[in-house]
C-alpha cells in the first residue's frame, strides 16, 4: 500500500490525469481519422453515400488546414491564454513561417544554390533545405522576430499593446505583399507568391501536395508537440511567472519576476508555433501567397482561443478545429445542401464573419470561459452573483 501511495504521489508531480486522458483521446481520434482517410476513403468497396458525405462534409484538405489553425492557435494561447497579453497581430508569425518555407524549399532564389539534405536532385537551382530542418528554421526565425517585435511593444499595457501588435500584424504581410522589388531584390515575389515547394522527405516516401493522409499524421504530431510544450512550460517556472503576470503584473514584479523577459519569452514561444504553423501551411497549399496572410486570420485565431477556452490546450484545439471547419467546409457545404434542397441562391460563406461575431457575443454573454475552460478560470466565472454579493462585505472589512 505504501509503495502505491508513493507512486501516486510521484505521478501527481507530473501531468494531472485529466491531461493524460485528453492526450490519449486526441491521439485515438487522430488514429481513427487517419485510417478513414488513408484506407477507407480510397477503398473501392466504400458505399457511395458515405464517400460523398465524407467528401462534402469532411474533405481531407479541410482537416489538414484545420490542423494548421490548431498549431497556430496553440501558439497564440501561450501569449493570450497563459501570459494574458492581447496579441492582434499573430498572423505576422504565420506569414514569416510561410515565407521561410517558400525561401528554403523552392526554386525561388534561383541566383543561389544550396542543398541541405533536401528531397530534390542537386541539379535544381535555388535553396533547398530538408522540410524538418525548415520547421526548425521557421520556428527560430519567428522566435527571433517575436523578440524583435516584442521588445518595444511589450512595454505597453493591454489596449495599447493590442493596437501596436495589430500594427505589426499589418506591416509584416505588407512587406511581403510589396516585396517584389526591394532595391532590385525580389524578397517575396509580391502578389504572385512563391509556389511549388519541395516534397516532404520522410525516409520512406517523399510527400507531395496531395499526400493528405501522411501529412495529416505530420500535422497531428506537430500539434501534439505544441500541446506537449505548452503543458510542460505551464507547469514549470516560466508558466507560473506567466500566470502571475496575467493575475497581477505589479505584484509579480515585486516578487522578483522580470516582466519584460517573461513576457518576451511567451511572445517568442508563441511565435515559434506560428512559424511551425506557417511552414506546415505552406506545404499544405504547396506555396506561399501574400494575400492570404490578412488581418482576419489574427482575429480568427483569437476567436478560436476564446471559443475553445483561454489557457486550456484541449479547449483551444476544439475551438480551432470547429471554427476552421465551419469556415472552410461547414458553411459552404451547408450552403450547397440548402440551395439545392430549396432552390435558393444564398451565398452562405459570405456570412462567415456574421456568424463568428454572433458566436463570440453569445460566448461572452453565456459561456465566457470557453467550451472547455481552464479549471482556474471556471472557478471565478462560475461563482457569478454569489461572488458579487460577497465582495462589498470584504471591502468593508478592509
Residues that bind another protein (CB under 8 A): 13, 228-229, 232-233, 236-241, 243-244, 247-248, 250-259, 265, 269, 376-377, 379-380, 394, 397-398
Single out the residue of 251, 282, 330, 398 nearest to residue 57, CA to CA. Answer: 330
Residue 57 CB partners (closer than 8 Å, separation 6+): 329, 330, 333
Do 279 and 161 touch, CB atoms closer than 8 A? no
**In this complex, which beta carbon is closest to another protein, that of residue 37 or of residue 145?**
145
Note the helical H segments in 154-236: 158-177, 212-234
CA-based nearest residue to 223, from 28, 62, 68, 98: 68
In whole angstroms, give the CA distance from residue 208 to residue 198.
8
Pick between residue 163 and residue 377 the one whose CB is nearest to another protein.
377
CB of 13 to another protein, least distance (A): 7
Report the distance separating Cα 207 and Cα 197, nearest Å: 11
Nearest C-alpha neighbor of 359 from the set 301, 304, 315, 310? 304
What burial letters (b/e) apply to 216-246, b meaning 16+ CB within 10 Å? bbbbbebbbebbebbbebbeeebbebbbbbb
Nearer to another protein, 243 or 334 (CB): 243
Residue 114 Ramachandran class (φ > 0 left, ψ -120 to 50 alpha, else beta): beta
Determine if residue 55 is left, alpha or beta; phi over 0 gives left, psi from -120 to 50 gives alpha, anything else beta: alpha
To another protein, the closest distance from the beta carbon of 259 in angstroms equals 7
Cell readout for 257 is 519576476
Cβ at position 270, least distance to another protein in Å: 12
Coil, strand or helix at 116: strand
Nearer to another protein, 133 or 259 (CB): 259
Q: 133 or 243: whose CB is closer to another protein?
A: 243
Q: Rank residues 359 and 377 by Cβ distance to another protein and give the closer one.
A: 377
- Tell the smallest beta-carbon distance from residue 371 to another protein (Å): 19
Grid cell of 232 as nine digits: 510542460
Name the residue among 21, 4, 388 with its Cα closest to residue 231: 21
> Judged by CB, which is closer to another protein: 248, or 291?
248
Instruction: Please state the closest distance from residue 221 (CB atom) to another protein, in A.
Output: 16
Least distance from another protein to the Cβ atom of residue 146, Å: 13
Distance CA 97, CA 102 (A): 9
Q: Residue 95 or 222: which CB sits closer to another protein?
A: 222
Q: Which is nearer to another protein, 147 or 187 (CB)?
A: 147
Smallest distance, Å, CB 119 to another protein? 28
Rounded to whole angstroms, the Cα distance separating 223 from 202 reads: 18
Amino acid at each position: 500500500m505504501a509503495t502505491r501511495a508513493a507512486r501516486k504521489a510521484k505521478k501527481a508531480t507530473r501531468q494531472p490525469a485529466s491531461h493524460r486522458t485528453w492526450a490519449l483521446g486526441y491521439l485515438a481520434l487522430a488514429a481513427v481519422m487517419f485510417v478513414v482517410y488513408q484506407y477507407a476513403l480510397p477503398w473501392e468497396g466504400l458505399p457511395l453515400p458515405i464517400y460523398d458525405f465524407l467528401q462534402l462534409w469532411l474533405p481531407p484538405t479541410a482537416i489538414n488546414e484545420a490542423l494548421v489553425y490548431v498549431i497556430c492557435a496553440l501558439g497564440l494561447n501561450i501569449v493570450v491564454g497563459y501570459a494574458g497579453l492581447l496579441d492582434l497581430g499573430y498572423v505576422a508569425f504565420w506569414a514569416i513561417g510561410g515565407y521561410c518555407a517558400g525561401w528554403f524549399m523552392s526554386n525561388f532564389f534561383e541566383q543561389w544554390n544550396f542543398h541541405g539534405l533536401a528531397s530534390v536532385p542537386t541539379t535544381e537551382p535555388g535553396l533547398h533545405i530538408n522540410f524538418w530542418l525548415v520547421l526548425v528554421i521557421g520556428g527560430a526565425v519567428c522566435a527571433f522576430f517575436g523578440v524583435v517585435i516584442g521588445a518595444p511593444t511589450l512595454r505597453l499595457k493591454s489596449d495599447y499593446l493590442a493596437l501596436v501588435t495589430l500594427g505589426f500584424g499589418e506591416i509584416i504581410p505588407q512587406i511581403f505583399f510589396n516585396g517584389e522589388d526591394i532595391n532590385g531584390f525580389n524578397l517575396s515575389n509580391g502578389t504572385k507568391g512563391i509556389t511549388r515547394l519541395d516534397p516532404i522527405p520522410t525516409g520512406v516516401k517523399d510527400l507531395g501536395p496531395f499526400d493528405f493522409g501522411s501529412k495529416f499524421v505530420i500535422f497531428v504530431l506537430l500539434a501534439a508537440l505544441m500541446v506537449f510544450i505548452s503543458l510542460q512550460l505551464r507547469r514549470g517556472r516560466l508558466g507560473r511567472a506567466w500566470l502571475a503576470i496575467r493575475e497581477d503584473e505589479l505584484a509579480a514584479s515585486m516578487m522578483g519576476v522580470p516582466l519584460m523577459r517573461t513576457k518576451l519569452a511567451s511572445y517568442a514561444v508563441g511565435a515559434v508555433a506560428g512559424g511551425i504553423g506557417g511552414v506546415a501551411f505552406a506545404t499544405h497549399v504547396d506555396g506561399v501567397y501574400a494575400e492570404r496572410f490578412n488581418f482576419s486570420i489574427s482575429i480568427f485565431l483569437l476567436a478560436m482561443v476564446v471559443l475553445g477556452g483561454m489557457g486550456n490546450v484541449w479547449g483551444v484545439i476544439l475551438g480551432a478545429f470547429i471554427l476552421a471547419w465551419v469556415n472552410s467546409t461547414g458553411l459552404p457545404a451547408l450552403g450547397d445542401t440548402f440551395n439545392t434542397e430549396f432552390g435558393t441562391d444564398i451565398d452562405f460563406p459570405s456570412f462567415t464573419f456574421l456568424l463568428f461575431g454572433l458566436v463570440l457575443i453569445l460566448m461572452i454573454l453565456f459561456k465566457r470561459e470557453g467550451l472547455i475552460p481552464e479549471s482556474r478560470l471556471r472557478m471565478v466565472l462560475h461563482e457569478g452573483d454569489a461572488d458579487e454579493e460577497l465582495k462589498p462585505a470584504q471591502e468593508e472589512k478592509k
